[in-house]
Structure 1
C-alpha cells in the first residue's frame, strides 16, 4: 500500500528539516571548537603561569579521606595538576600542537558532516564528495586518535624535564620517592577500529556511486 502524496511530502519535509538541523549543528560545533582553539593557543603562548593537568605521578601517598571508608583497601593518586611559571617558547608551541591535534578531530568531522549534509539536502547522497569526505573522516580518526596520546606524552615529558630531576619518582633519593614520571602514554586501539568502520562506509558510498552511474546510464 503506497502512502498518500501529502503524507510523503510531510515525511520528506521532516527529513529535510532534520538534515538542516544536523548541518547547522555541525557548523556551530566546528566554529565553537575553532574559537576555543584560538583563545587557548593565545593563552598558552602568552600567559606567564600555565596550569598543566594530568601529569603522571608515581609512588604517591594514599589520600587521607580514604581512611574514612572501611571498604577501601588501597588508594593512590595517578596524576597531578601543576601551576608552572616561565615555560620556554618551544615547550609552549609543543603544548599548542598537542591540543591542536585533538581539536582537529572535532573541527574536521564537523566539516565532513556539513559536506555530507549539504549533498543529502541536494538529493545527491552518492556524490563523489560523500565518498572522499567519509574516507577523510576515517583517516582523521585514526591519525588523531593514535598520534594525539603520543604527542601529549611527549609534551608532558618535556615539561617534567623542564622542572628538573629532583621531582622525579626515580631520583637519586630512591625509587620509592613520590614524584613525576618522565614518560607515560596510554595506548588505545579503538580509533583504529572506528577508522576502519568509517572506511567500510566510504567503500559503501563508492559502490552506491557506481550503481547510481549505471542506473543513470540505463535511463
Structure 2
C-alpha cells in the first residue's frame, strides 16, 4: 500500500513538473515513427517481392517456351531423319526383294523346263529301246523307198520332206499346247528328245525346220522323221 501511494505521488509530481508528459510524448512519437517505418518497409518489401516474382514468372515462361520449341524442333528433326532412314532402308529392301524374285523366277523356269524335258523323255521315249539307229534306218528306208517309187527325182524328195514337215508340225503344235510350252521351250524339248534317241540336232535347226527357213539336210529330215515316228510307235502300242 505504501509503495503504491508512493508511486502515485511520484507520478503526480512528474506530471506537475511536465517531465512525464515529455517522456510520454517522446514514446508516442517513437512508436508512431516505428509504426510508419514498419508499414513503409512492409509495403516496400511487398512491392519488391511482387516485382521480382513477376520478373521471375516471365523469365520462367520464356525459358519454358524456348525449351519446348527446342524440344519440338529436335523431335521433328529426329522424326524426319528417322523417316528418311526408314524410307532408304525400305527402298533397299524392296530392291533386294525384286532381285530375289527375278532370281527365283529364273531358277524356277530352268527347273520347270528341266522337269518337263525329263518327263517328256521318260514318258514319250521309254518304249523306244531300239534307239535312233533303227528309227533312222526306218526313216532312211522310207525315204529311199519313196524316192525310188518317184523315180529318184528332186520333186519326190521335196514331197517326202513336205509330208514329214506336216506331220512334224502337227505333233509339235499338239504337244506345245498340251504342255503349255512356249515355242522356244518346245524346240528345246524336241532337241532333247532327239538326243535321247541317240541323235544330235541343234535347237536352231529345229526352229528353222518348223519355220521352213533354209534347206534341210538329209540328216536333219531323218532325225525329225525319227522323232515323229517315235510318237506313232507309242500310239500303235
Instruction: Identify the structure with bigger relative contact order (alpha carbons < 8 Å, sequence gap 6+).
Output: 1
Please state which structure has a larger fraction of its residues in strand.
1
TM-score for the superposition, normalised by structure 1 = 0.25
TM-score for the superposition, normalised by structure 2 = 0.23
Mark the structure with the bigger radius of gyration.
2
